[in-house]
Amino acid sequence: MPIDRRLISHFDWPLVALAIGLVCVGFLTIYSATYSITEHRASGLAMKQFYWFLFGLVAMISAATLDYHHVDRIAYPVYGVTLVLLAVVYFIGHSGGGSQRWIHLGFFTLQPSELAKIAIVLALTKFFQYDEPPGGYSLRNLWMPFLLVGPLAVLTLIQPDLGTAIIIVVLFFSLILMGGLRVRSFLALAAAGIAFMPIAYHFLKPYQRNRIWTFLNPDLDPLGAGYHVIQSKIAVGSGRFLGKGFLNGTQNRLDFLPAQHTDFIFAVFAEEWGFIGCLLLLVLYFAFMIAGLRVVARAKDRIGALLAFGVVAMFFWQAVINVAMVTGLMPVVGITLPLLSYGGSSMVTMMVAVGFLLSVSMRRFTF
């Protein structure tokens, strides 16, 4: 397919640069997190992550090349495939870390709940692409989005992958708000959500309930989940202004941090690079969000703006919830730090998402 020269000239280089910058911070931190002091070398995970990044780069360029108007056509098929994969995981999935999240595909394992985040963004973008009714959508108009989000959220929740389920629900609300929800409906929904909480709580696994209670009152479980939060806070706090230096983080080194190369990678980074490092990392993320929102604002049409918004919302919520969790502001729910945390499915998903942003950005002048 010949690519319009104008598309290349409008390629959003700053956005790509910011994404690659974040990925590079990820390499360094994964290297440090998996470095063994007894053997004086890192495990191969940083290198593995690099290969995933290369794969993600191809995926990103493919997504960027795709005219985003095709979302209208591919949204439901993607949604359907995701649903099937989640069901497969539930029945035959590989069990790891106490829950079923992966499917073995020979050379790698697929985590369909990552795909679910993309699927919900695409499906809702398709739904909201037409002009909103005057005054905005009322809840009665929105049975379809609810029908779409329900199975995805439930299937991820029962894996159990509370973190991704939360992201899916948060994305859903972000998108219907952006899509144009009436203020009255929004209030009604919020009220219903609060009423639903006890029911949702009922379905949580005991250890997930523990985490919520531990968050609300860390003294409740100082030996279990509370211990993780405290060790994570010690790691972040002891980084102080300038950090302990690359490969010098003791909390990380001595295995006091849980999931140090995935969910708690920010703690490893904060310990070694200190407040200055964290500030730079936050600025990097902030700049990425703003660049993303600029794509939303400059999008040519509604479908493009919604797609771009969905991607930004995904990055934003994951980054914010992850940092808040690691610094003890929120319960530990198992959400990765986008583009930094180790994980193939997560990396490819995020790169595809960046590809969608680029696709919208590049086509803002074409007709």
Contact residues for other proteins (CB under 8 A)? Answer: 38, 98, 131-132, 178, 180, 205-207, 219, 221-224, 226-227, 230-231, 233-241, 250-251, 253-256, 270-271, 274-275, 278-279, 282, 285-286, 289-291, 293-294, 296-302, 305, 309, 312, 316, 320, 323-324, 327-329, 364
Cβ at position 81, least distance to other proteins in Å: 30
- Bridge partners of residue 104, in order along the sequence: 109
Residue closer to other proteins (CB basis): 24 or 132: 132
Phi, psi dihedral angles at 136 (to 5 degrees) = 100, 170
The number of beta carbons lying within 10 Å of the beta carbon of residue 134 is: 5
Cβ at position 51, least distance to other proteins in Å: 28
Cβ at position 102, least distance to other proteins in Å: 15
Q: Give me the count of residues in the chain.
A: 367
Residue closer to other proteins (CB basis): 82 or 210: 210
Cβ at position 70, least distance to other proteins in Å: 19
Cβ at position 363, least distance to other proteins in Å: 11
Residue closer to other proteins (CB basis): 85 or 323: 323
Cβ at position 293, least distance to other proteins in Å: 6
Cβ at position 146, least distance to other proteins in Å: 21
Closest CA to 178 of 151, 140, 145: 145
Residue closer to other proteins (CB basis): 20 or 234: 234
SS3 1: coil
Q: Distance between CA atoms of 149 and 90, rounded to whole angstroms?
A: 17
Residue closer to other proteins (CB basis): 26 or 226: 226
Residue closer to other proteins (CB basis): 131 or 198: 131
Cα angle, residue 256 at apex, residues 227 and 347 outer, rounded to 5°: 100
Alpha-helical segments (H) within the chain = 5-9, 13-33, 45-65, 71-92, 112-128, 143-157, 162-180, 183-203, 206-216, 225-238, 250-253, 265-298, 302-326, 344-362
Q: What HEC string does 199-268 produce?
A: HHHHHCCHHHHHHHHHHHCHHHCCCCHHHHHHHHHHHHHHCCCCCCCCCCCHHHHCCCCCCCCCCCHHHH
Residue closer to other proteins (CB basis): 239 or 338: 239
